[in-house]
Amino acid sequence: MALFALRRLLLSIPLLLGITFISYVVIGLAPGGPLDFLTPEDPNASPEVKERLIKEFGLDRPVYEQYWQWLKRAVRLDFGRSFLPDGRPVLTKIGERLPITLFLNLIELAIIVGLAIPIGVLSATRQYSLYDKITTIFVFVGFATPDFWLALLLMILFSVQLGWLPISGLRSLNWEYLSFWQQQWDFFSHLVLPIVVATFGGLAGFSRYMRQSMLEVVRQDYVQTARAKGLSERVVISKHALRNALLPVITILALALPGLIGGSVIIESIFAIPGMGQLMVQSVFSRDYPVVMGNLVIVATLTLVANLVADVTYGLVDPRIRFGGRRGRR
């Protein structure tokens, strides 16, 4: 078991290297360079600034050399400074955006899981019932409704028309002058709409998963046996079926981990939340290589860890899986 985890961990290292290298090459190949932003399309811009910056950023050297330079610093967790005029360290830029994204995503995930499990279980135990149909349609409507559309509609209703909730941002402008509890309420009220929109959109995945998992378990022999033994349906479901149906959910939860730090661009820009999604898109669009790479490394590492955690926990809760064998989950 420990051996298995260790082996996977060691395997992750070349994978991570591969990912960063490919990313580096892909960004380098993508047309347009960072300097086209510092030397804008304006009659008064000076072209020689570009030459200067090309040298300073080392963009005149071959890609593999640039990558090597980057890698040497990256292993010491030094991701350099942003190419943008603010020139701030990459880790600072990521660090100031990570907390809010993480916070929002954790809340969303908690709500989604909290709602999806009962929805999924109930619609599985009452397959083809009216309840099943309604929840099925409900979650898919959420899945298919464009985020920005729902967001703007809710803003118009709750903020512009009713005036109950603030429209955008994280805090009111007079936040510093509010009492502690007012501050908490203020912060919370800013988060309600983004969380509602994101939760509605994300419900489908989990609840359908849960429903499917449950359907599968209900048909298994041991559940049938439990039923045959005359146990009440309630007991059968909660004691036997649910527990087993939840097993794969753990995997999914672990796999959702890296998603926690990648914010949603659409929700963030509509609600003016300074999160990771916006940072990533902005840095890709402005070819801010150091920030893009820093971001990628973090996401990739988390994903690898999450994969590992998923495998290990799955193995722990489901002893049928033998480690090291190819016949595992994947």
Partner 1 sequence: MSGRHARVRRLLAWATCGLIAAACNGAIESPSDEGPTAGGAPAYGDTFIQASIGDIGGLIPSLTSDQSSHEVGAMIYDGLVKSDKDLNLAPAMAQSWTYSRDCLELTFKLRRDVKWHDGRPFTADDVVFTYQTMINPKTPAPFKEGFLLVKDAEALDPYTVRVRYDKPYARAVETWGTPMLPKHLLESFAKAGTLRESPQNSWPVGTGPYRFQEWKPGEKVVLVANPDYYEGRPYLSRIVYRVIPSQATIFLELKAKGVDYVNTLTGIQYARQTEYPAFRKAYRKFRYPGDNYTFLGFNLKDPRFADKRVRQAFAHAIDKQELIDGVRLGLAHESTGPLRPGTWAYTEDVKRYAYDPAKAKALLAEAGWKDRDGDGVVVDRDGKPFTLTIRTNQGNDERKKIAEIVQQRLKDIGIQADIQLIEWAAFIKEFVKPRRFEVIVLGLGTGSDPDQYVVWHSSQRGPDQMNRTGYDNPEVDRLLEAGRASCVQKDRVRYYRRLQEILAEDLPMLFLFNRDSLPVVASRIRGVSAAPAGILHNFTEWYVPKAQQRYTAG
Partner 2 sequence: MAAKGAPRGELRQFWRTFSRNQLAMCGGAVVTVLVLLAVLAPLLAPWDPHRPDTKKILNPPSSKHWLGTDPLGRDVLSRVLYGSRVSLAVGFVSVGIAAAIGVLLGAAAGYHGGVVDNVVMRLVDLMLVFPRFFLLLAVLAFLKPSIWTIMTVIGLTGWMGVARLVRAEFLTLREREFVVWSESVGAGVLRIIFRHILPNAIAPILVAMTLGIPAAILTEAGLSFLGLGVQPPYATWGNILNDGRDYIEIAWWMTLYPGLAILITVLSYNLVGEGIRDALDPRLRQSRIGRIIRLGR
Give the footprint of partner 2 on this chain (CB under 8 A).
15, 18-19, 22-23, 26-27, 29-32, 127-128, 133, 136-137, 140-141, 143-146, 148-149, 152-153, 156, 201-202, 204-205, 208-209, 212-213, 215-216, 219, 248, 251-252, 255, 258, 262, 265-266, 280-281, 284-285, 292, 296, 299-300, 303-304, 307, 326-327, 329-330
Contact of 84 with 175, CB cutoff 8 Å: no
300 binds, among partner 1, partner 2, none (CB under 5 to 8 A by kind): partner 2
Residue with tokens 């919370």: 188
Residue with tokens 């527990």: 243
Q: Which of 45, 106, 137, 141 binds partner 1 (CB under 8 A)?
A: 45
Q: What is the DSSP string of 36-70?
A: HHHS-SSTT--THHHHHHHHHTTTTS-HHHHHHHH
66 binds, among partner 2, partner 1, none (CB under 5 to 8 A by kind): none
Instruction: Return d(Cα 182, Cα 189) in angstroms, integer.
Output: 10
User: Nearer Cβ to partner 1, position 39 or 301?
Assistant: 39
User: Nearer Cβ to partner 2, position 4 or 175?
Assistant: 4
| 53 interacts with partner 1 by CB under 8 A | yes
Instruction: Return d(Cα 36, Cα 298) in angstroms, integer.
Output: 27
Instruction: Return d(Cα 271, Cα 31) in angstroms, integer.
Output: 30
| 285 interacts with partner 1 by CB under 8 A | yes
User: Nearer Cβ to partner 1, position 33 or 248?
Assistant: 33
User: Nearer Cβ to partner 1, position 137 or 272?
Assistant: 272
48 binds, among partner 2, partner 1, none (CB under 5 to 8 A by kind): partner 1
Written as six digits, the tokens of 61 are 């050297």
Contact of 270 with 280, CB cutoff 8 Å: no
50 binds, among partner 1, partner 2, none (CB under 5 to 8 A by kind): partner 1
- Distance (Å) of CA 258 to CA 102, 182, 302: 10, 33, 5
User: Nearer Cβ to partner 2, position 84 or 116?
Assistant: 116
Q: Which of 122, 270, 291, 298 binds partner 1 (CB under 8 A)?
A: 270
Residue with tokens 């892909």: 26
Count of beta carbons in the 10 Å neighbourhood of residue 70 = 20
Q: Which of 18, 32, 114, 328 binds partner 1 (CB under 8 A)?
A: 32
Task: Give the CA angle between residues 257, 310, 244 to the nearest 5°.
Answer: 115
- 222 phi, psi to nearest 5 deg: -70, -30
Instruction: Return d(Cα 205, Cα 208) in angstroms, integer.
Output: 6
Residue with tokens 């967001």: 151
Subset of 65-104 contacting partner 1 (CB under 8 A):
81, 84-88, 93, 96-97
Query: Could you tell me the smallest distance in angstroms from the CB atom of residue 165 to partner 1?
Result: 10
- Distance (Å) of CA 290 to CA 11, 71, 80, 278: 25, 11, 6, 16
User: Nearer Cβ to partner 2, position 52 or 243?
Assistant: 243
Of 37, 27, 30, nearest to 85 (Cα)? 37
Subset of 112-171 contacting partner 1 (CB under 8 A):
148, 152, 155-156, 159-160, 163, 166-170
190 binds, among partner 2, partner 1, none (CB under 5 to 8 A by kind): none
H-helix or E-strand spanning residue 18: helix 2-29
Site for partner 1, rule CB under 8 A: 30-34, 36-50, 52-53, 56, 81, 84-88, 93, 96-97, 148, 152, 155-156, 159-160, 163, 166-170, 173-174, 176-177, 265, 268-272, 274-275, 278-279, 281-282, 285-287
